[in-house]
Structure 1
Amino acid sequence: MRPISECSLMKISAATTQRNVTPSPGPPLDKIVGSWLCDEGPYQKYIEALSGSNPGLKKADPNNKDGPLKKGNALVVLLDSPATGQPDYSKPHEFINSAELREHFKSSQREHSRRRIYLMEGLAPDYVSVIGGHFFMDPSFFQRQERTCVWSNDFTPVSDALPQPSLLSPDKSFHLQYCELRQFNKALENRYYFCQRTRRHVGMTPPRHKEESTTGILRRKLSWWCRNTGNGGWDVVILCDPQLLHLSPDPKEVVPGGLRLITNAKDSLKNGPFQEGYLSFLPPKSFNCPPTAAALSSLAASAPKHSRTSMLRDLIYYYEHHSDLLTPDEWEAPQKSAIFLKKIVAAHYLQLVDYIKVMLPSLELRLTTAWVEEQDQWKSLQTISRRCGNYRDDIEDTLLSLGYPLDGKLDEPSKLRSTDWKDCEKDLQYAYFRLKILKERADNLTTSMTGLASIAGNRQNLEEAKRVKRLNLLALLFIPLAYTSSLFSMQDNFAPNKSDFWIYWISAVGAVAFTSFVTFVLDRALDEEANWTLAPVKYLKFWKNDGKPSMVKRKATGLYDHVRR
């Protein structure tokens, strides 16, 4: 048998390696940069290319691990109108799925002569891939809409911070954060929850037991983006949150005696807009004389009732029925299409301000009447103060995103005399001003609460000191008696009913008198600073001072000690 040479071994090894080596598999889907936000495609490649400058594009919000973005879990509605004259958005079109939306973009020209508004409720990777792949807007437009972290004790790998103010372009895109008040049909436990779908924070307030209900403050986000086409048209994309349906974790109902887990909460626990929703921001129609019944009927039938079910439906309602409130010249620029959503956000902020403004006086009243609940009141004040700080930060970001000043001043004559209902800056500045005042008011109440708690503590300490004084007085009587009895041993002739028992009583009374005298002298000899003085001697002296007041020697302050030296 011929031995295998070294050269043959090398050839066999190379051949074996060539047969066994297979192409290395690509990275898992969850490791592909941007796959959490967008399906694979050109826009996902664009996200991957920008991930170096924006590291937040690499990972989803860790708070969404229980509710990641799912394909098809979004709704896109198109409002389309010609680029000339008054727009008509009376026929909104809802896309069934992302494939239909993709076909729509393929069949339409990029440089069209239309005024189109795309409303997207919720986020889904397939819809993001289609819309982003058509318009190629900055991926942070979708990224910031996905972020849900309000605050965290840990440093999370994501951020929801604004970009540098110099990079903000309100005429191109902006991002708004606001809060919506929701009323639940059951009295729920006062703790934090999350929207099961969007993972937005829901802050609960104490339940209203008289109505067996609870008010929740739901955090919301809204994003707007636009572009102009070459033929006088424009495209607008609006991202909004879906309505709250279910809470996470499973809520508990407040019942007499404790808490109870709600059975079948998805069907039995309902919520709706607080006090039937925010106030309308549209100018009401006025009459110069008492209107007739026909005029009132015509006014009621001019527009259907506003349901206020979700941001998507609210925007469709205003675009469909009240687009004529803007002139054709105003509709030439896509920026004017954002008036309705800005006004809705301002209306939510004003409702929130009014709600907090009503809560604080009730706490002030309870502070003056209910001392037994001071711990719960302290917790409520701290919660209001913290939330006002968060809401103030949100509206500051909103003002900055819209290019409005952050002064929060309403004393300028131009602002006060403005009567245009389209003035969004005045509404948001007022909400910002009120939130700052409410924050300061809550902090002042917290300080007052601290003072009241100190007064209550001092009263308790005073009562305890009085009890200790009574015990000391009793000890002043019984300790000499006990000492005298131990001294005489109370045996033989000194025992009770014996001949020398009277000696014990004489000694005991003398010991009590001597102890009382020494206690009096020591109490007089010590001043308030616990220094020994001659006050007992001056108190007991019997000589006269000829009616002349004695000179009071002041204690040296030490200010002029260097002069003596």
Structure 2
Amino acid sequence: MARPPLGASHVTDDLAECSHLASGQYRGKLASLRGKYPSLKYPDLQSPVQGCGGRVVSLEFSKDNDPIRKDFTDPSKLRLYIEAKQCASSTERITRRLFLVEGLEPGLMSVVGHCFNIDPTLVVRQQRTAHWEPYHKSGNTPLLPSLLEPSRSFHVPYYELHYYPEGLPDKLDWRCADSGRQINSSRMPGTFDRVGIADRKVSYWSQKRGDGWDAILFLDPPVREVFLGVKSGRAERLSTPNEPYQGGYLDFMKFSSLDDACRTRGPTRESVLEDVCYYFFHHASCIDIQDDPMICTLFLKKIVASNYMVLIEYVKATLSTLEWSLSRQNQDISEIKIAWAEQRWSDLQSWSRRCSEYCENMESIIDSLRIPLFEADASGDWAACEKDFHLINRKLIGLKQRANALISSLTGLAGILGNRQTLKEASRSLHEAKSVKILTFLGMMFAPLFLTSGIFSMSEKYLPGGSFFWVYIAVAVPLVLLVFGAVSLINMGYGADGEWSSKEFRQTLRSQRGNVWGSFSHLPQVTIHRFAIIYVGHSFAKAPKSYRPSSGGDP
């Protein structure tokens, strides 16, 4: 039996693991590169898309820059078209073709990748849907900046804003059903907004062929349906009618006159592929696409930058709304509840995280396109994209700082509300303590009375109206005073820390004794003697004759 070639089983395993990217011969090439690029073998765990459809549009440019459009959805027809051009004569091969690939259907990707030998890292970056992946079997690591060559290939993330008239379901896990990319929504104020921020990606690749060239733009399909509950493992596909938020991005063409601007109606903004085709069919004369394929990315860069401007205005409006809700113009600060502050804090934390992602993506765009750090003077040049991306980067950084400042302000407000709540609870506790003190006072006053009445009720002569009822009063009143005196003495031993100590008792007793004797010293001695004689005489007058002492001595 012949031995299998070395590494045959390894290649077979690689083929099985790379099936999420492509099929056929290009899949074999991807499998052989797994050792160099480990991220090729791991599919996107957060994407529910499996075998979604796609299409390819070819634009052939003549010498007059007039494009010829051809659409493909069948991989076999696309292969025949590409191979026919490659096998043509030298004069017929001098063509300038731009391929617009919408979606990452494995069959179409296999044809495009195999015929043009596409860089596999570009395909993986375009396919990934997560901003970050903490899982072991995942990979979202970019190449070193020193390896980037924007004239040949680059990768650009951006965002599209869609308005959903019927609203989105009250869940946080929404994804585009055709691309698997996440759709974020925000609360403004407190309730979920009907605006969805869809993650988008575009990638560019090109190669020159003598006097001709081939360029490819990988684009995301439009959002027609969404998946719900992807993280829970029970994804539900729903149709969600939507339209571009506020009508979509503004047109970026520079017209010489108003009549010139009125000659075209503008892009549909329903699909980035159709928008790119619109600009090539209506404004291809504004650029020179004869020699450098990089010029084909100009309209795409402008679309990306224009979408970022829509995103910036939406984020600014949202932060302004949250900032205004923190002011005292619409409500009294004493009426704000802690739950309200916690909800706004959560919203601001979400926006701070998103603004950080927006800034990171913009920095990656500047690095991928090798845009200089210092802006050159491009006044009057509508095709200069460097100034656009620098401005967008500054605005995004400003929004991030504004969100963090609002978080600090809301944290201070939450502290004020917390202190106010603590004060209310302390006041409530003090009121409850006073209520308990009153009950304790009543108990201390009536407990001796109940005890004395219980003792003297054993005989009828001590009942009210009896001959010895005065004894009850003479015993009960001093007993009440004795109980209050004992409690007062015990309380003298408690310090500020709530612990009882003999040292504290002696110091308090010494100070209280001085105050009491000082008060009595101001009274005339005659008054004291009169009070004692009246009290004793009154007691003897109420006592029966049998209990009065005789002149002889003992009763």
Q: TM-score range, shorter-chain basis?
A: 0.7 to 0.9
Match of 1:162 among 142, 163, 167: 142
> Are 2:206 and 1:247 equivalent residues in the alignment?
no
Out of 424, 445, 453, the residue aligned to residue 414 of structure 2 is 453
d(CA) in 2 for partners of 1:299, 1:447: 47
**What is the CA-CA distance between 1:518 and the residue it aligns to?**
8.2
Name the counterpart of 1:389. 356
**1:88 partnered with 2:55:** no
Name the structure 2 match of 1:195. Answer: 176
What is the match of residue 359 of structure 1?
318
CA separation of 1:362/1:509 partners in 2, compared to 1, >3 Å: closer, same or farther?
Answer: farther
SS of the residue corresponding to residue 187 of structure 2 reads coil
**How far apart in 2 are the matches of 1:354 and 1:285?**
27
Letter in 2 for 1:35: S
**2:205 and 2:216 in contact (8 A); partners too:** yes
1:305 aligned onto 2:266 = yes
1:477 to 1:49, Cα distance in 2 relative to 1, 3 A = closer
Shift of 1:322: 0.9
For structure 1, list consecutive stretches of 5 or more residues without a partner in the other structure. Answer: 1-16, 19-23, 252-262, 288-295, 544-565
Q: Deviations over 1:14-45 (max 9, x none)?
A: xxx99xxxxx999879853533322222x233
Counterpart-to-counterpart distance in 2, 1:390 and 1:468: 47
Distance 2:20 2:430 in 1: 72
Contact 2:156 2:203 in 1 (8 A): yes
Distance 1:32 1:492, change over 3 A: closer
Distance 1:521 1:311, change over 3 A: same
Structure 2 CA distance for partners of 1:508 and 1:474, relative to 1, 3 Å: farther
Is 1:435 aligned to 2:396, yes or no?
Answer: yes
Mapped pair 1:52 → 2:35:
yes
The offset of 1:398, in angstroms, is 1.4
Q: Once the two structures are aligned, what percentage of the paired residues are identical?
A: 29
Structure 2 CA distance, aligned partners of 1:482 and 1:392?
70
Deviation at 1:375? 2.8
CA RMSD of aligned residues (A): 3.7
Tell me the alpha carbon deviations over residues 154-198 of structure 1, each in whole angstroms, 9 at most, x when there is no partner.
414122221011111111100011111011121221522111121
Match status 1:501 vs 2:484: no
Q: Give a deviation string over 1:63-102, Cα, whole Å, max 9, x none.
A: 23x42245xx2211111113x4x4112x311124111111
Alignment of 1:159-308 (within 5 A): 159-188=139-168, 189-206=170-187, 214-230=194-210, 232-249=211-228, 265-266=238-239, 269-286=240-257, 296=259, 299-300=261-262, 302-308=263-269
Aligned counterparts, 1:402-441, within 5 A: 402-405=369-372, 414=376, 418-441=379-402
SS in 2 for 1:319: helix
Relative to 1, partners in 2 of residues 1:461 and 1:509: Cα closer, same or farther, differing over 3 Å?
A: farther
Secondary structure in structure 1 of the residue aligned to 2:429: helix
- Cα 1:26–1:173 shift into 2, 3 Å: closer
Matched residue type, 1:395? M
Secondary structure (helix, strand or coil) at the match of 1:178 reads strand
SS at match of 1:108: helix
The Cα shift of 1:404 comes to 2.1
Q: 1:457: how far off?
A: 1.4
CA–CA distance in structure 2, aligned partners of residues 246 and 186 of structure 1: 13
Cα separation, partners in 2 of 1:360 and 1:25, compared to 1, 3 Å: closer
How far, CA to CA, are the matches of 1:345 and 1:225 in structure 2? 17
In the alignment, what sits opposite 2:286?
325
- Kept in 1, the 8 Å contact 2:492–2:504? The answer is no
Aligned residues: 477
Pairwise CA distance, 1:205: 2.1
- Tell me the secondary structure at the aligned position of residue 63 of structure 1: coil
Q: What is the TM-score with the length of structure 1 in the denominator?
A: 0.75
Once the 2 structures are TM-superposed, how far is the Cα of residue 506 of structure 1 from its aligned partner?
A: 5.4
* Larger Rg belongs to: 2
Letter in 1 for 2:412: G
Q: 1: distance between equivalents of 2:193 and 2:433?
A: 55
- Structure 1 residues 429, 45: closer, same or farther in 2, change over 3 A? same
Report the Cα distance in structure 2 between the residues aligned to 1:198 and 1:236, rounded to whole angstroms.
Answer: 22
